[in-house]
Chains A and B, each alone.
Chain A
Amino acid sequence: MQAELLHTPILAALQGQNPFEVPDGYFETFPESIQEQLGPMSLPEQKVQQSSAPYGYFNRLPDLIMDRIEAEELAAKAPNLMKLQQTTPFKAPAGYFDELPARVSTQLPSATATAKLRPLFRNPGRLSVAIAAAFALLLICFQWWMGPSQQDDTQQAAQELARSLEEVSEDELLAFLGLEEGELVQLAGEYDLNVASEALIPELNEVDAAPYLPEYDEVDWGEIY
């Protein structure tokens, strides 16, 4: 602004001062004086609903109307049916609904996952074979560790041991090892021995298996009539 007034030094010297003044208190009383001149406010009144409908009434109204229309159509079409009371003629025995929740509740499986374990070894001979194979595996590992010079002897010894262990009963083996059946299976699991893998797979019960079943969300019409 000052740069624009470089060529008019007089205006520049006046510095844009306002020479006009207003009476004292003019701006403080101005709004009131304007209102006095306007008189009473005469804005148009907003339309206010004097009555109101119950909550959700207008959402339900289309259904109500359609129901009425249908009822009238049916009354014309099926007067005998419409004359009948719409109550179901079936009854439940006295106290049935009082007892049912408890009866259902007693049948519910546990909420927590309770996987049923299979019997560890269904075939009694399988445990002996599993132990023999485990020993053979350990011997093969030992042979590998000892080096190639010992390989032939160790391999032969392993095969002989496995054969002889097959003839030993399951109980004798467990007694010899000083292990319970469960402990042996646990050891086999820890060392990832394939021989016992089947015994280590728990059998899923129905609740556990449910997430893998198709979702129960379809009406199975099938063929009845």
Chain B
Amino acid sequence: MDEQHLLRKLQSPESQHLAFEELVRLYQEMLYYHIRRMVIRHDDADDVLQNTFLKAWKYLDKFRGDASLKTWLYRIATNESLTFLKKRKKELHEDVSDLQDDLRHSLKEEGTYFSGEEIQQKLQDAILQLPERQRLVFHMRYYDELKYDEIAEILEVKVGGLKASYHHAVKKIEKQLTLHAG
């Protein structure tokens, strides 16, 4: 089903529930991993993902079609992830390092559905030390292989700044990996 067809079905009260299920089916994996890389724990990712889709349903009539559904959903998922992390940070008494430590710790928890390879652990550890924006940009470029202009549309920032963010992120991660290798 192409996006226009799906949108038409979403706009019709008779078909919108089924069409929305189709939308969830289409985008769930992509959004899950985007959220999961941000919040780390599966249970948290599940909550944020469900919130993302419920928000999408709630604001569906406000979707103007200026961006693609994918971009719009990515944006909601990003916002929901950031909101979740803000709340988490508050629970951890506003300390940034507490939040980073908490996320890094959760990588090592049992039942986190993480591949567990040591090098992957080190990579995630390095990614979690990045500032929020660099972390987001790195994920979208490195793992999701989104184009810079797509990322720019999702995050509403300029492409030039994104490229710089990505290159800084890569440099920092490499430095961490080199330290580990050395």
- List the interface of chain A (C-beta within 8 A of B): 63, 74, 77-81, 84, 86, 88-93, 96-97, 100-105, 107-109, 111-112, 206-207, 210-211, 215-222, 224-225
A96 CA to B120 CA, complexed, in Å: 23
CB distance from A131 to the nearest CB of B (A): 40
Cross-chain pairs A/B with CB under 8 angstroms, 18 sampled: A77-B171, A78-B171, A80-B178, A81-B123, A81-B177, A86-B142, A89-B121, A91-B115, A92-B32, A101-B22, A101-B25, A108-B20, A207-B58, A210-B58, A215-B59, A221-B132, A224-B85, A225-B96
A155 CA to B3 CA, complexed, in Å: 68
CB distance from B173 to the nearest CB of A (A): 6
Interface residues on B, range: 35 or more
- List the interface of chain B (C-beta within 8 A of A): 13, 16-17, 20-22, 24-25, 28-29, 32-33, 36-37, 42, 46, 49-50, 53-55, 57-59, 61-62, 72, 75-76, 78-79, 82-83, 85-86, 89, 96, 99, 113-117, 119-121, 123-124, 131-133, 142-143, 145, 147, 154-156, 167, 170-171, 173-174, 177-178, 181
CB distance from B73 to the nearest CB of A (A): 11
Contact A89/B115 with A78-B173, A80-B174, A101-B28 known, Cβ cut-off 8 Å: yes
In the assembled complex, which residues on chain B have CB atoms less than 8 Å from the CB atom of A63? Answer: 147
Contact A97/B29 with A112-B13, A220-B79 known, Cβ cut-off 8 Å: yes
Are B28 and A100 in contact (CB-based, < 8 A)?
yes
Are B154 and A216 in contact (CB-based, < 8 A)?
no
Contact A77/B85 with A206-B58, A218-B156 known, Cβ cut-off 8 Å: no
Are A220 and B83 in contact (CB-based, < 8 A)?
yes
**B21 in complex: contacting residue of A74, A101, A216, CB < 8 Å:** A101
Are A97 and B59 in contact (CB-based, < 8 A)?
no
A75 CA to B84 CA, complexed, in Å: 34
